[in-house]
Structure 1
Amino acid sequence: MSDNSVDGIEIEDGSADISDSESSSNDDPGPVTCVKLPLAENIAAYVNKIELIRDIDPIECNRSLIENVMNNYVIVKKIISTLPWQEKLLCKHVCQTWHSAVLALQKEQLGPADFVIDLQIASIKNGVKYKVSGLYYTEPLVVFTFTNTPAGFGVTNRCLELVPSPCDPPCEMEHCLIDYVHRETTAPKDCMLTVRASYLSYMPLPQSITYKHTLTQRMFRRSYPFIGGIYIPTIPDVQFHVINIQTNTDMQKEYFEVIKNIAQNRIFKGVLIYVTEKFLLHSEIEECSYLNYFKDVQPDIPYALGGCIVEDTMCEQSNIVPLVDCRNEGNYFVSENLITIGMFTVPKDPNATDQGHKINFEMYSLVLESSDWTKAKIQKTINEFSKKVPRFEHSVVLKLSCVGRDKKHELEEDLFRAEFPNSRLVGCFGNGELGLNHPARPVDEAPPSKRHRHDPGPEFGLIYSYSTVFVYFGWGKMTSS
């Protein structure tokens, strides 16, 4: 982050000095109403199955040329490959040739992307910019979004200030930034999992236009409003499942029965757990022993697992309407979620996959315990993990860490990036971590090193303190071991 800043607002491109109160409508919303963003009119017409009549002048073209282009698979595929995934939804219904081209591209355009809205780097002149490392070419499997703002999920900005503007022409209203991100990444699909935590991790690839927004140790000095995340495209045969538990009485129906049903036909590759602070106040379940149920239904197949205690989660599109309502009422949106669990699975039956188009997908997890405190120990642990994990054509990393690891987080990220240089990294900091080592870590013969101050002792099952959990996702062609 640049040192050229005034009151926390970085000055870019020679723009005038602007204070926090002048740079954003968040602090002084005034009488402006926050409104829910609609879908683009062509996408809305597609979803609602209605005819869209546009008042446009058609371009006169050679009829024979149009037919040749529309029926030439190679040309069609090349043209469609440049479109975002929402537009591809419509292209599938043009004709059989276009439908085949879209299906082929879904198996080829499998790259992830990261995105950011950084309100530290913002000004009236340049606008509040939504930056993305690349186009979303393929329908999303899941979009992980992290926000650190003290105002919860309800950060808003005037439409005129948002770049690119979500409305054409820009309206006079405000929009929730989470709603903005949802429409740009996943709408009309509902697959965005949003986490609110006090502090975040965000480390794009060095060549990306989003890299300048990498979060550093300065984030602990002052928490600037920040939204960042990672987009993972649909991967053939991979499914993402979400469980939201809002009361302890829901545990049997919403958790155990769901896991049992999924396990009948699918294999768990990885599990993500976000426990909200409300769960700690209401829980009558001893620690997180319920998570051992994954081992019960899948005793012989290892899986990755990572999680942490966060402030809140949101993973349903229907939450955005009450979020907007809360903003207009001057309140902060708070979900009822106690636990949010995300699960990645693949089919058990190998014959269910066309082996000629099989896409590799694996997840691994590493726990840096509180005893992994020195630079040498951290580096040794990450290096050992790196030697056991294959490299893939596409990969991303979630980092779930304890705030109490102080200045270790930059060191850990740099060392992990050195071993996995092509993996985007995002995540958050919490007040307790959950994880397991997959592949398993070797048991040291020497006695454990001295634990960090204030550490209550050894981990309890899957629960750790003063730790960091890395969850690695890899898919596509394997490039090395």
Structure 2
Amino acid sequence: MEDDSASFSDEVEVADVRNFRCAKLGLPARMAAFLNNEELQRDCEQIPCDQDLLEDIAGNYIIVKKILSYLPWQDKLMCKNVCSMWRSAINTLRKEQLAVTDFAISMRISHIKNGISLIQSDCFYNEPLAVLAFANISGFTITAVCEALLTNPCDPPCDKDHNHFVSVLDVVKNLVVMPKKCMIAVKASAMSYMPTAYTPTNKYTITRMYGKNSPFIGGIFIPVIPNVQFDIITVKTLPDIRGKFIKTMDKLSETRYVKGALVFVNGSFILQSVDDIVFLNYLKNLQPDYPFALGGCIVEDTVSDNEDMSTLIDGINNCKDLLSFNLVSVGIFTVPKNFEELRTETGVHFEMYSLILDSGCWAKGRMEAAINEFSKCVPRFEHSVVVKMSCVGRDSKHDYEQNLFRTAFPNTRLVGCYGNGELGISKPERLRTDPRPSGLKRYRPEPPPAPKKKFGFSLMYSYASIFVYIGWGKILRPADTS
């Protein structure tokens, strides 16, 4: 278990950015050659083998499928072009290998004795649908010597192009999602990371609010799920709300329903009025009779594409503010409007739920009752993950509510971050109970709906925790509707 009270001697200092140049990583060599349709020159010896035996193996569907099942998704992407049989095997594996994977990079001395490495709960077997990475402040900007990273982002480790140093966040993007664009990296003052038991990442579990001192990056890898689509909408200017967000949602709504949204608001985007964030209520206008999950919080920064990463690295090199200047990053999960018909064919369910523990849920008994009520309403899926976004002001409540969630969902990975303002929608909708509980110093009753503005009402909370549950695959146990 991690302890944020460790002394500075047990931490890795962020390198002095004035003494080196950090460059943006390119595509891995094998992927660049594949995408550019070029021959990759490898400095290796070919292992002699029986050609007849090799052809027998390569032509046997069952053997090929078994071998390919162990490959990471980038290698599968190339192997599917070998022949129609291999393509068929990989397409079948895409429907079978639907498990979520969590990953972490910890820069604590106790974790990097043999080199800085990306620790995974399992291989990234399937092509990613969505990757969510959360980093504390120093984890977001840490750089490292290329040859100290395992696996090296350059092969062999480079000492020319970027003078040995690379952004660790760029390494995560390079190893996990490249060449796809489906990752949101979130910089927050503190973060959560709770893998399941008996996995290689379990020793990196963070059981209480983890601050900025020791660099840490933790995240989840959600594989491609049949008929589910993930889109990232980045708002960089206020005109982008209408010119980008609304236009994108209008286009999606023609054929798809929103199942859920994750929203990360940059702290530099000052919420001076309801109008600043209620544009998210536009989702309700698009599908008033189709409920969706929503959760988010105010964070330090986000990175969602190569342009953002280049801006971040430029800031490292020039000792500027290490900001991407994104105002809001929204991750949208959608399904076709005939999803139920398609689900019958594939047998793969997908659903999202969200729970708001507002300032009224301050006492342990109230938290436990709310989480237990929520757990009864949520089916147990074959694969699932929970994203937690919480107010730093909930103090010691973080441990308790996180452990309660683990008790209710023992096989569900939990990741997330802490901010200074939360937003969300409860799905399923919760019944409101009594007014102010006795003895609460920080209780802030949920405000009445704000006056209706351009798109709807405010979604903002304070001293709250928002849990967004994502489940897919087979339903192992239905919800308790009694």
Q: Residue by residue, what CA displacement relative to the aligned partner does 1:22-44 show, whole Å, maximum 9, x if unpaired?
A: x44x2435633323323322211
Q: Is structure 2 residue 72 aligned with structure 1 residue 81?
A: no
The residue number in structure 1 matching 2:240 is 250
The range that moved more, 127-136 or 180-189, is 127-136
The range that moved more, 75-84 or 109-118, is 109-118
Contact 1:246 1:337 survives alignment (8 Å):
yes
Aligned counterparts, 1:34-433, within 5 A: 34-122=22-110, 125-150=113-138, 153-172=140-159, 173-217=164-208, 219=210, 223-280=213-270, 286-350=275-339, 353=342, 355-433=344-422
In 2, the alpha carbon distance for the partners of 1:329 and 1:51 equals 37
The residue number in structure 1 matching 2:454 is none
1:237–1:6 Cα change, 3 Å: closer
| Equivalent position to 1:464, from 455, 461, 464 | 461
Q: Residue by residue, what CA displacement relative to the aligned partner does 1:404-457 show, whole Å, maximum 9, x if unpaired?
A: 00100110010000010011100000111101111111232x334258435554
In 2, the alpha carbon distance for the partners of 1:449 and 1:308 equals 25
Structure 1 length normalisation: TM-score?
Answer: 0.91
SS of the counterpart of 1:231?
A: strand
Amino acid at match of 1:170: P
What runs of 5+ residues in structure 2 fail to find an aligned partner? 450-457
In 2, the alpha carbon distance for the partners of 1:147 and 1:184 equals 16
Q: Residue by residue, what CA displacement relative to the aligned partner does 1:292-323 show, whole Å, maximum 9, x if unpaired?
A: 21111101111101011111111012322232
In 2, the alpha carbon distance for the partners of 1:458 and 1:285 equals 15
| Equivalent position to 1:475, from 467, 472, 477 | 472
In 1, the alpha carbon distance for the partners of 2:4 and 2:182 equals 37
1:420–1:50 Cα change, 3 Å: same
SS of the counterpart of 2:170?
A: helix
The residue number in structure 2 matching 1:16 is none
Deviation at 1:122, TM superposition (A): 4.8
Deviation at 1:70, TM superposition (A): 1.3
What runs of 5+ residues in structure 1 fail to find an aligned partner? 11-19
SS of the counterpart of 2:251?
A: helix
Contact 1:9 1:120 survives alignment (8 Å):
no
Amino acid at match of 1:165: N
In 1, the alpha carbon distance for the partners of 2:208 and 2:44 equals 52
In 2, the alpha carbon distance for the partners of 1:287 and 1:123 equals 42
1:115–1:55 Cα change, 3 Å: closer
Amino acid at match of 1:275: V
Q: Residue by residue, what CA displacement relative to the aligned partner does 1:327-350 show, whole Å, maximum 9, x if unpaired?
A: 222234311211111110000024
Contact 2:136 2:217 survives alignment (8 Å):
yes
The residue number in structure 2 matching 1:7 is 7
The range that moved more, 159-168 or 170-179, is 159-168
In 1, the alpha carbon distance for the partners of 2:43 and 2:195 equals 42
In 1, the alpha carbon distance for the partners of 2:3 and 2:255 equals 54
Contact 2:194 2:207 survives alignment (8 Å):
no
Contact 1:248 1:284 survives alignment (8 Å):
no
Deviation at 1:226, TM superposition (A): 1.2
Q: Residue by residue, what CA displacement relative to the aligned partner does 1:211-253 show, whole Å, maximum 9, x if unpaired?
A: 2222233635x63221111110111110001111111122211
Deviation at 1:388, TM superposition (A): 0.7
SS of the counterpart of 1:425?
A: strand
1:113–1:76 Cα change, 3 Å: same
The range that moved more, 447-456 or 162-171, is 447-456
Contact 2:386 2:467 survives alignment (8 Å):
yes
Contact 1:114 1:133 survives alignment (8 Å):
yes
Contact 2:360 2:445 survives alignment (8 Å):
no
**Percent sequence identity over matched residues?**
45
In 2, the alpha carbon distance for the partners of 1:350 and 1:373 equals 38
In 1, the alpha carbon distance for the partners of 2:240 and 2:339 equals 33
**Count of residue pairs brought into register by the alignment:** 465
In 2, the alpha carbon distance for the partners of 1:170 and 1:137 equals 25
The range that moved more, 136-145 or 64-73, is 64-73
1:4–1:398 Cα change, 3 Å: closer
SS of the counterpart of 1:228?
A: strand
In 1, the alpha carbon distance for the partners of 2:41 and 2:31 equals 13
Amino acid at match of 1:272: L
In 2, the alpha carbon distance for the partners of 1:3 and 1:316 equals 32
In 1, the alpha carbon distance for the partners of 2:9 and 2:334 equals 42
**Alignment RMSD:** 2.3
Amino acid at match of 1:324: I
In 1, the alpha carbon distance for the partners of 2:476 and 2:32 equals 40
Deviation at 1:206, TM superposition (A): 1.9
